[in-house]
Chain A
Amino acid sequence: MKLREIAHSRTGDKGNTANISVIARDPQKYAALARYLTEERVKEHFSEIVEGKVSRYELPNIGALNFVLYGALSGGVTRTLAMDLHGKSLCMALMNMDIPDDL
């Protein structure tokens, strides 16, 4: 299944760095999400897009993960050639990730 089935998400931007939240629809699923959705998996998913590293922050208090993607915005909102200047649509690219059905 797609990550979208169990999580929702929003992208933010600062300079050439994007952050993507991954929020468990059901807080009970947070632990499983945190086990599966590693920095490596997210980096691999965005291998064509993210030039730098991916850092993950855990927020069990709200059942969410926060991914910070460095070098994700082709230079950043103020100078990128990309149509989506802020990379605002990237959250839906992450929601498109295939995850195990029994997660």
Chain B
Amino acid sequence: MKKVRIGSGAGYAGDRIEPAFELAEKGNIQYLVFECLAERTIAIAQQAKMKDPNAGYDALLVARMEACLPVCRKNKVKIITNMGAANPVAGMRKIRETAHKLGLEGLKIAAVTGDDVLEVVKQGDFILEETGGKSSALKDRMVSANAYLGSQCVVEALKNGADVIITGRVADPAIFIAPAIYEFGWSMEDWNLMGQATVMGHLLECAGQITGGYFADPGYKDVPGLGRLGFPLAEVQEDGAFIVTKVPGSGGMVTLATCKEQFLYEIHDPAKYVTPDVVADYTKVQMKEVGKDQVLITGGHGRPKTNTLKVSIGYVDSYIGEGQISYGGPGAVPRGRLALEIVAERLKLSGVKFDEIRYDLIGLNSLHKDKISKTGHEPYEVRVRVAGRTQNMKEAVRIGNEVETLYTNGPAGGGGAWKAAREVVAMVSTLIPRSHVNYSIHYEVI
């Protein structure tokens, strides 16, 4: 019986590289998929592209290709990735250049474009999901708008013989399910099958998060060999059932518990998980351990895809200025509190203009505020943190400055002051009709 083995080579832009090599070398996989495109990454990449038309793809593209292209070539593993970010065509050229340097030949590389809908969004007016406001209000500050493409574009590139496929914004599960659709010739209107496939893509898309990464809690949930954490692969059958596993001997583990945590990661209503390919239903999914580090997943369902596509819009929202300083030893908490009071008073006296401000004591209440964080005993050390939102960089810088001056103008024993100010590119989303979005595929052969 035919099976397709699909490996997950990265779960985010900065992810470790060695596990992808390990999968290609020892995983007996046919496809290696790198998911590297967080929501905001594409907006920042778009800003880079505006400054340099050859920029705007993922910063680790070359490093990942140098590590994985030769072994993938040797073992006939095809690569699919969204590392094209805002500039898949420039990314494709970079892959060709890298392959050439590595002495590889006979490689067909495909770049998918068409997710960039900035002009469509600028010319139209769309309701923003988060605020209910209109996209036209952001017009002058908009830096990017990208539609989430479905798996069709990747399936088409595979049909045309591509060995490496680089895309911009394509829905995360879509780049994982495309090879299964292509290999088995699945109908993309078999909604239950698309729903089951989406579960597979969803479970793989964060790489190590299903093999024991982001899971360990000593004494409660122990994970072996985290230092050598291996990344997952799915062995998919023609009926859509699949086994999540990893390379034998790699660190980490695949268990019911690790699969369940990842299964619900970033899910809202589990009966209606909307992707460009299907509205997936997770409520009848069954998981069964069938061997060491092997979990069989069945029972994903689905309903017809919607008539719209989600679009992420990046815009320059504001500026954030921040400062930190630490206090330790006896009375650390009262000195930290005094420091926060001093900063608050000085920001007022010096007339720093901010829209929003936040005062934290790291070690005491910075993550979960006061009520939940109450333990009944004082920490030995705390770190003061002040962060404020401003309308320009100059004001943002002043916030960190007022924290740094605590050195010589604040409570006793402050140490390790740090400050920063940055522009905030924020994201909102909207839905646009599918008819507004058309993809293209570009090919190069080396």
Is the Cβ of B356 less than 8 Å from the Cβ of A84?
Answer: no
Q: How far is the CB of B144 from chain A (nearest CB, A)?
A: 12
How far, in whole Å, are A48 and B371 apart by their CA atoms in the complex? 7
The residues in B between 219 and 268 inclusive whose CB is less than 8 angstroms from any CB of A are 220-221, 257, 260-268
**Chain B residues within 8 Å of A16, by CB:** 130
Asked if B287 is an interface residue, CB under 8 A from chain A, the answer is: yes
- Smallest CB separation, B206 vs chain A (Å): 10
A12 to B269, CA, bound (A): 13
Question: Which secondary structure dominates chain A's binding surface?
Answer: loop
Q: Given that A81-B387, A81-B389, A82-B358 are known contacts, is A17 also in contact with B372, CB under 8 Å in the complex?
A: no
Taking the complex as formed, is A37 at the interface, i.e. its CB lies under 8 A from any CB of chain B? no
Instruction: Known contacts A15-B429, A61-B283; decide if A10 and B268 are in contact (CB<8 Å).
Output: no
Contact B371 A47 (CB under 8 A): yes
Q: How far is the CA of A16 from the CA of B131 in the complex (A)?
A: 10
Give the contacting residue for B388; candidates A8, A57, A81; CB below 8 A. Answer: A81
* A34 beta carbon closer than 8 Å to chain B: no
B380 within 8 Å of A (CB atoms) = no
Query: Would A66 and B424 count as touching, CB distance under 8 A?
Result: no
- Segment 90-130 of B: residues with Cβ below 8 Å from A: 129-130
Does B369 belong to the interface (CB within 8 Å)? Answer: yes
Are A23 and B285 neighbours in the complex by a CB distance under 8 Å?
no
Stretch at the interface among B54-62, B345-353, B359-367: B359-367
- In the assembled complex, the CB of B129 is this many whole angstroms from the nearest CB of chain A, namely 7
CB contact between A62 and one of B287, B317, B369 (< 8 Å): that residue: B287
User: Which residues of the other chain, B, contact A77 by a CB distance below 8 angstroms?
Assistant: 39-40
**How many residues of B sit at the interface, in one of the four size bands?**
35 or more
- Report the Cα distance A9→B388, complex, angstroms: 31
Residues of A within 8 A of B270 (CB): 57, 59, 66
A83-B359 Cα distance, complex, nearest whole Å? 11
- A84 lies within 8 A of B367 (CB): yes
Contact B220 A79 (CB under 8 A): no
How far in angstroms is the closest Cβ of chain A from B312?
10
How many A residues face the partner with a CB closer than 8 A? 41
> Are B264 and A4 within 8 A (Cβ)?
no
Which of A47, A62, A83 is close to B360, meaning CB atoms less than 8 Å apart? A83
The reply to whether the CB of B284 lies closer than 8 angstroms to some CB of chain A is: yes
Query: How does the 8 Å CB contact mask read for B15-45 relative to A, with 1 for contact and 0 for none?
Result: 0000000000000000000000001100000
> Which of B257, B263, B284, B370 is within 8 Å of A8, CB to CB?
B257
Tell me the complex Cα distance, A14–B267, Å.
9
The verdict on A61 contacting B387 (CB below 8 Å), with A12-B265, A15-B129, A79-B424 known, is no
Contact B217 A8 (CB under 8 A): yes
Interface presence of B426 (CB below 8 A): yes
B284 near A62 with CB under 8 A, answer: no
Chain B residues near A17 (CB-CB < 8 A): 268
B40 x A83 contact (CB < 8 A): no
User: What is the bound-complex CA distance between A10 and B266, given in angstroms?
Assistant: 9
A64 sits at the interface (CB 8 A): yes
Q: Report yes or no: A78 in contact with B265, Cβ–Cβ below 8 A.
A: no
A-B contact pairs, 28 of them (CB 8 A): A4-B220, A8-B257, A10-B264, A10-B265, A12-B267, A13-B266, A14-B268, A15-B129, A16-B130, A21-B260, A46-B372, A47-B371, A59-B270, A62-B263, A64-B264, A68-B269, A76-B427, A77-B40, A78-B317, A78-B425, A79-B424, A79-B426, A81-B356, A81-B387, A84-B366, A89-B367, A90-B368, A93-B372
Those 8 A-B pairs whose CB atoms lie nearest each other, nearest first? A12-B266, A21-B264, A79-B426, A81-B358, A78-B426, A48-B369, A10-B261, A81-B387
Having A78-B424, A82-B358, A82-B366, one finds 8 other A-B pairs with CB under 8 Å, namely A16-B130, A21-B261, A23-B261, A62-B287, A63-B260, A78-B39, A81-B389, A84-B367
A→B interface (CB under 8 Å): 4, 8-10, 12-17, 19, 21, 23, 25, 45-49, 55, 57, 59, 61-64, 66, 68, 74, 76-79, 81-84, 89-90, 93, 96
